[in-house]
Structure 1
Amino acid sequence: MSGVLLRLAWTAAVAAQAVLAPVPAAAAPDPQRPVSQLLTDLQRLYRQVEQATETYNATAGQLKRQQAEVARLDGELARARLALQDSRMDAGRLARQQYQNSSDLSPYVRLLLGRDPQHALDEGHVIGRLARERAKTVASLTGTEKKRDALARAARKALDTRLTLADKQKKQRDDVTAKLTDVERLLTSLTPEQLGAVARLEQTGVADAQRKLTTSGALGDDARPASDEGDRAVAYAMDQLGKPYQWGAEGPKSYDCSGLTSQAWDHAGTPIPRTSQEQWARLKRIPLRDLRPGDLVVYYPEATHVAMYVGNGKVVQAPRPGEKVEVSPLASYPVLGAVRPDASPAQAPATEAR
């Protein structure tokens, strides 16, 4: 059985790889459709899964950053409370000193009644210094209280944001699970003959798309060597061959599409955004004819899938649920364009390649 057919025969294993709450059953799909329609339905469902996965990944990244912000603010708030405690102790000492001197003549009155002008002048300097220290103590207490209150408000707001993101992530997780269940339901409704026919039709479509891409000259002469970072990224990605696709995963045992590409470039020493959509939006775009190993190929108009170019018209990728990291034709999915993670900032942006 071919690799494509194996992935089409995937069933309950997908649900088992992510320990999630079950979703309500939907109406069973009608398998009595032309093979071309069955393939279209499967591709649509897989695409929806990947869109939902990348949305989930983006929220996961936001949640991770927000958790770090909550921890940072909690630390600052704890330090501010300690500083406030110190300021209050200083203020308390000041109050006690004022109380203890309340029955004596004020230092200012003693200054006015002093017989020795020089002594009076010296004492005036002391009085001025004490006054400044008292003013500083009061200002410190006031400022520390304001900082404590501001940090407390910021910490509460950050915590509320984290809780909101966590709730959003849960809903997105359930959305992915529901879409995976739709794929599973359609696959289990098909006969072995239908699965085989769908697999052959998909293989034919990929071969035709790859041939058109190659004969059109869009890929150039493929003579560009990888950069040192690109070599390291490709080596890392190739080392992951055979590991299963799992949505939301970024290694080391399993990956989704952007989890593989982001981890490969991170290990190459050039961190890049986590999701395929962020990679498309934030990295330097290049024409397909300028591809070199290590560059990323982005797919679909919404930039919901990504793979790494390895040369000779091939990419290494974590394709979709039920599959494993593999080397595939570049045209396995509809190409949106390409980006270069280690492009020089001085390079001018390339026009979008489709």
Structure 2
Amino acid sequence: MNRRHCAAAAITLVCALALLTAPVQAMAAPVPVPGPAATSSASPKKTLEEVREEIDTLYRKAGAATDAYNLAEEQSEKQSAEIVRLTKSIADGQARIAELKNRAGAQAREQYRNGGLPPGAQLMLSGDPDLFMDGINQARQGQQATKGMLTELEQAQEDLETYTKDAGLNLEKIEAGRAKQAKAKKSIDGQIAAAEKLESQLAKEERARLLQLEKDAASTAQAAWLSSGALKDIDREASAAGKQAVAFATAQIGKPYVWGAEGPGSYDCSGLTSQAWAAAKRPIPRTSQEQWRLLPRVAIEDMRPGDLIIYHSDASHVGMYVGDGSIVHAPRPGRDVTLTGAGTMQILGVVRPDK
């Protein structure tokens, strides 16, 4: 970018900022037509257990898409904040350049008033040896000051170009993030709609049996986990911060799951855990996948209350261990924040926010 275009580019960026730093609203997506997996539930060939597994799979996919949505939203917020900082730097840079140009103009006007002669020539014509020697030192100082000013002006212009370029890149990232959010939202809406349609096609008695099947499957998985000896050596106490996080998380029991929610009235799984640790003055990543990627990992046998258990191979779910083999978590749409067995889902691993 040529320097003479910096000011125009900066003004364009400042104007765009008002639109692009506004809260991101993902575009509404039409409810998709359910695929074969969704429409086949009415067939008598499918058992209720198969329907349960299908619904569970759909909600798990929605959970993974929710993580993608939340991560894109978090990144957009960071990039918007960076644009605000860069915009201020651009404005400061423009003001500095204007100041330096005014100083340069003042020097040029002073030389014009002296007949257009450089300081050295003026001294040679003065005829006064003392004035000549004094003037030599002043001239050298003036030359150094002028050189310094020109160097500073050049650096200020380079900085302005850099700020403008960086701001432009961040604008592009925000737009890309918005596209990712819209795609994730469409996926979430589709998976949830398909799962809800499956459930709606069941008779009242079947829905009651379906709920019981969910409870039975959870109990079976928990019993298998306990019988494996997983809790044999788990007797550690929570840290002071861990106790605060557990107290916050358990206080949310009974509040509904809403994807993308971070409280106070509703939560998704990682919204609950991230807010619980924020309440303990230990900020952690927003999504379960980032919590798994970035937080220190501990062995299951070293687990203590407040630690986070990450579930499924894609790290798409998270719950907080509260002791006695239990977690508090926000399960899925249609369910509330609740206590359940830590072994009711496939455990990927454990992370500790305050290690």
TM-score normalised according to structure 2 size: 0.87
Q: What amino acid sits opposite 2:32 in the alignment? A: P
C-alpha separation in 2, matches of 1:21 and 1:115: 86
Following superposition, the deviation at residue 265 of structure 1 comes to 0.7
Alignment-mate amino acid for residue 76 of structure 2: L
Q: What's 2:94 paired with? A: 81
- 1:279-318 alignment, distance < 5 Å: 279-318=291-330
1:72 counterpart = 2:85 = yes
Contiguous gaps of at least 5 residues in structure 2? 1-25
Indicate conservation of the 8 Å contact 2:41/2:51, yes or no. Answer: no
Q: Is the 8 A contact 1:272 1:341 kept in 2?
A: yes
| Secondary structure of 1:306 counterpart | strand
Give the conservation status (yes or no) of the 8 Å contact 1:219–1:291: no
Q: 1:246 aligns with which of 244, 251, 258?
A: 258
Q: Tell me whether 123-132 or 281-290 shows the greater mean CA deviation.
A: 281-290
1:24 aligns with 2:60: no
Instruction: Give yes or no for the alignment of 1:160 onto 2:168.
Output: no
Q: Percent identity of the aligned residues?
A: 38
Cα contact 1:230–1:293 (8 A) shared by 2? yes
SS in 1 for 2:79: helix
Q: Which moved more, 1:198-207 or 1:253-262?
A: 198-207
Is the 2:226–2:343 contact (alpha carbons within 8 Å) kept by the matching residues of 1? no
Contact 1:87 1:144 in 2 (8 A): no
In the alignment, the residues of structure 1 paired with residue 304 and residue 205 of structure 2 have an alpha-carbon distance, to the nearest angstrom, of 40
Aligned to 1:117: 129
CA distance in 1, matches of 2:321, 2:131: 86
Would you say the 8 A contact 1:232–1:267 is kept in 2?
yes
Question: Comparing 145-154 with 248-257, which one deviates more in the overlay?
Answer: 145-154
Change (3 A) 1:334 1:110: closer
Displacement of 1:314 in angstroms is: 0.9
Q: Tell me the residue number matched to 1:273.
A: 285
Matched residue SS, 2:249:
helix
- Give the letter for the 2:162 counterpart: A
Matched, 1:35 2:43: no
SS at match of 1:68: helix
Q: Gaps spanning 5+ residues in structure 1: where?
A: 1-17, 344-354
**Residue 119 of structure 1, CA deviation:** 2.9
Partners of 1:140 and 1:273 in 2: how far apart? 41
Matched, 1:201 2:209: no
Q: In the alignment, is the contact (CA less than 8 A) between 1:20 and 1:177 conserved in 2? A: no
Runs of 4+ in 1 over 6 A off after TM superposition: none
User: How far apart, in 2, do the equivalents of 1:24 and 1:210 lie?
Assistant: 35
Match of 1:232 among 244, 248, 257: 244
Structure 1 residues 74-223: aligned runs within 5 Å: 74-102=87-115, 106-113=118-125, 115-223=127-235
Deviations 1:29-62 (A, max 9, x none): 4323112211110111011010111111111111
SS of the equivalent of 1:265 reads helix
What is the aligned counterpart of 1:332 among 333, 344, 351? 344
Give the C-alpha shift of residue 19 in structure 1: 9.5
Matched position secondary structure for 2:238: coil
User: Contact 2:292/2:351 (CA < 8 Å) preserved in 1?
Assistant: yes
Shift of 1:98: 2.3
Distance in structure 2 (CA, Å) of the matches to 1:302 and 1:317? 17
> Over residues 90-121 of structure 1, what are the superposed CA-to-partner deviations in whole Å (9 max), with x where a residue is unaligned?
12212212222235x54312433554433321
Secondary structure in structure 2 of the residue aligned to 1:315: strand
Whether contact under 8 Å (2:269, 2:317) holds in the other structure is: yes
Equivalent residue pairs, number: 325
AA matched with 2:33: A
Query: What is the SS of the residue equivalent to 1:316?
Result: strand
User: Deviations along 1:196-216, whole A, 9 cap, x unmatched?
Assistant: 232222222211111111122
Quick check: 2:89–2:163 contact (8 Å CA) kept in 1?
Answer: yes
| CA deviations over 1:131-182 (Å, ceiling 9, x no partner) | 1222222222222222212211211121121112112212211221111111
Contact 1:258 1:275 in 2 (8 A): yes
Q: Which residue is equivalent to 1:350?
A: none
C-alpha separation in 2, matches of 1:107 and 1:52 = 72
SS at match of 1:91: helix
Give the whole-Å Cα distance in 1 for the aligned partners of 2:324 and 2:118. Answer: 92
- CA pair 106-269 structure 1, distance change in 2 beyond 3 A: closer
Structure 1 Cα separation of the partners of residues 248 and 118 of structure 2: 78
Q: Deviations over 1:275-327 (max 9, x none)?
A: 11111122222222222111111110111100001111111011110111111
Letter in structure 2 aligned against 1:79: D
